[in-house]
Amino acid sequence: MDAPSSQVVERHPVVVSLRNRRRGDPVAREQERQRLLAQWAADGIPIQNLVPAGFTVDGIYRSGFPTIEHLNIYEVLGINTVISLTSTDYPRALEFWMARTPVRMLHYPMHNDRWGVDALYDTVDFILERMMPTHLHPLVFHCEDGDSQAACIVGCFRKLQGWDDEDIIQEYCGYAGTHFGSQDEVEFILNYEPSLATSQQARWAGVANWEPREDWLTSRVPASGRSQ
């Protein structure tokens, strides 16, 4: 199939909507939020099918592979950075949109057949170090389905926050989808020890105090919180 032309993409209703919206205006964003919720309710579309699943902390989201239909959500959330954990190419229409916005695109593929390879821990450190700077937030990171690689990144991030292993694995199991209970992934998370540089950056950023909060679009909270 031929790639869509720039003229076709420019006329896509999602792109038109985004172009006409004032970025960063909280009043405009709330109005758009209400419009989208009403539209989806009228169309009978489950909102969970449209929203990045699995709030991590305020300002960091995880999701499955995005499509151009997700751009409304990205814009309403004010996403500044997208981190891809997969080597799969984006659709041309999505690439075209991202090339015309200030959104940063970062690609750090993680192959889920390499959980036993020590070098993968270096990749996790690298990714987490790029998730922590708050000037990159709001940020969304994704794999193919939002469960395997993304779930492991969340688990390793929770270690930086000082969560107990039991709470980390409970949250992982709540979001791992078809990969629920993958022993390789569970062991990978439990064995993860951040590098000195990653640990120092986490302390400087104060990530231990970054609390999960309610997803303001779905009223969903993570399956588990930090132990008291």
Residue 28 Cα distances to 11, 21, 25, 79, 114, angstroms: 22, 7, 5, 15, 44
Beta strands of 4-72 (E only): which ranges? 60-63
pLDDT 10s digits, 195-210 = 999 999 999 999 998 8
pTM value is 0.71
User: Amino acid identity, residue 24?
Assistant: G
The pLDDT value recorded for residue 127 is 93
Q: What tokens were used for 217?
A: 């679009």
pLDDT 10s digits, 138-149 = 888 888 877 778
Is the pLDDT higher at 216 or at 55? 55
Residue 119 Cα distances to 46, 81, 111, 166, 216, angstroms: 39, 25, 11, 25, 37
User: Amino acid identity, residue 179?
Assistant: H
| pLDDT at 180 > cutoff 70 | no
Q: What tokens were used for 209?
A: 């105090």
User: Amino acid identity, residue 220?
Assistant: R
